[in-house]
Amino acid sequence: MALGHHFSRGSAIFRAAGATCTRQAPTLRPFRPHSPRDPALPLYPFLLEPIYKEKVWGGRTLERFGRRLPGDPSVRIGESWELADLDATSPSGGGGEPAKTRIRNGPLIERTLAEVVEDFGPLVTGDVRLASGGRVPILLKYLDARESLSVQVHPSPEYAAAHSRAHLKSEAWYVIDAEDDAVIYKGIVEGTTREDLEAAIRDGRVPDLLVQVPVKAGDCHYLPSGTCHALGAGIFVAEVQTPSDTNFRVYDWGRTGRELHIEQALECIELGPAETAQFEPGTTSSHGDAVARELVVCEHFTMSEWMVLRDGEVVFDTDEMLLLMLVRGEAELRWSDEVPPLGVRAGDTVLLPAALEATTVVASTDATFLEVRPLGAPVASSGGRSLPILGAT
């Protein structure tokens, strides 16, 4: 049953109390264990292993998911990279080394997603346009903002076109938890000139020129490249973005020892409030025990929230790769009648390869999850190779 153009590349079928299905799900494909390099055999849902990043602004909120975070309680974990396929990261952000997500279940356990994509190709990715070097064109994270993140901007399309080392970075924040007075900063106050912004940077008054937006759990905001923004303190979000670590930091709330990128930021910042309503449809469709809400529809990815009551089911039937981030509750994934279901809980991220004919998500408790469909990498002139990364959060 299609819900708007979000599902134009596949479909979701609801099996919940009182729901009506328009067609039957296809017969599930039998599962057989397979050798790591045999693309002729069927695949399965991949549980993804997170990569943790210590940040000065981070916290320990991920422990609520039952995560065993590195370090003692004083170590601030600001980011959990749920899916990453980057050949290089910023030294001050991702640590400088490549970031390659590994699979943590099934016959392909411990292999990187990059290796699996190389071996299985379209059986995993479908027709998604890959990033340079054949990389997966999406980056998924959890961000735990105990303190406010730096005020920053990602390269505008014009800047990226003129600078081969810069990569477009558009992203979306889905708020999982937020303190009562939490805000994000999204865009520049109407009427601000470039001269006003330069003066505010010199005088340390940048926050005075930012649009403050109160947020609560369930809110979602799209931030296209060129938007001046910051995640405020006391917010925990899931972040979906294009696969880039290029950030230009313009203000850091009085923190010292971290580089600013004023000149680059001024070239990229689009003055005025962020006009993103056209990318944030917010439309919902209710079917029995399942409700879907379209959060973001942009040229790089689509993103939806699913809320399913206990024992409700949703069947994903698609010929494209998609990703599920369970943010609340527990569920089972069923894709074959010959193997046990895959149990998942809040905090788990799963990739469904394109070769799967159907995967049923059954809510073991009331559950909320995000569905992300990469549509392809931004068009960039990197010459087919990974380039150095600038800046960091």
Q: Is 92 helix (H, G, I), strand (E, B) or coil?
A: coil
86, 314, 342 from 125: Cα distances, Å: 16, 21, 21
User: Could you tell me if residue 381 is inside a domain?
Assistant: no
User: Could you tell me if residue 387 is inside a domain?
Assistant: no
Does the structure show a pLDDT above 60 at 30? no
Does the structure show a pLDDT above 90 at 352? yes
User: Could you tell me if residue 380 is inside a domain?
Assistant: no
The CA distance from 222 to 9, in Å, is 21
* Residue 41, pLDDT score: 58
Classify residue 371 as exposed, middle or buried by CB count within 10 Å of its CB (0-12, 13-18, 19+).
buried
Q: What domain count does the chain have?
A: 2
Instruction: State whether 18 and 55 are in the same domain.
Output: no
* Residue 27, pLDDT score: 31
Residue 301 belongs to domain with CATH number: 2.60.120.10
Instruction: State whether 168 and 181 are in the same domain.
Output: yes
* Residue 205, pLDDT score: 96
Q: Which stretch of 6-10, 51-55, 103-107 has the lowest confidence by average pLDDT?
A: 6-10
Instruction: State whether 292 and 200 are in the same domain.
Output: no
Q: Which residue has the higher pLDDT, 392 or 93?
A: 93
For 164-184, letters b (16+ CB in 10 Å) and e give eebbbbbbbbbbbebeeebbb
Instruction: State whether 163 and 290 are in the same domain.
Output: no
- Specify which residues 10 forms β-bridges with: 318
Instruction: State whether 12 and 76 are in the same domain.
Output: no
User: Could you tell me if residue 344 is inside a domain?
Assistant: yes
User: Could you tell me if residue 154 is inside a domain?
Assistant: yes
Instruction: State whether 253 and 308 are in the same domain.
Output: no
Domain boundary among 249, 274, 299: 274
Domain boundary among 216, 244, 274: 274
pTM: 0.87
User: Could you tell me if residue 34 is inside a domain?
Assistant: yes
Instruction: State whether 30 and 18 are in the same domain.
Output: yes
Instruction: State whether 218 and 124 are in the same domain.
Output: yes
Instruction: State whether 39 and 66 are in the same domain.
Output: no
Q: Which residue has the higher pLDDT, 93 or 9?
A: 93
User: Could you tell me if residue 390 is inside a domain?
Assistant: no
Instruction: State whether 259 and 336 are in the same domain.
Output: no
Instruction: State whether 82 and 137 are in the same domain.
Output: yes
Instruction: State whether 70 and 18 are in the same domain.
Output: no
pLDDT grade, residue 217 (50/70/90)? very high
The pLDDT tens digits of the residues spanning 374-384 come to: 997 654 332 22
Domain around 148 = 49-274
The pLDDT tens digits of the residues spanning 271-294 come to: 999 999 999 999 999 877 899 999
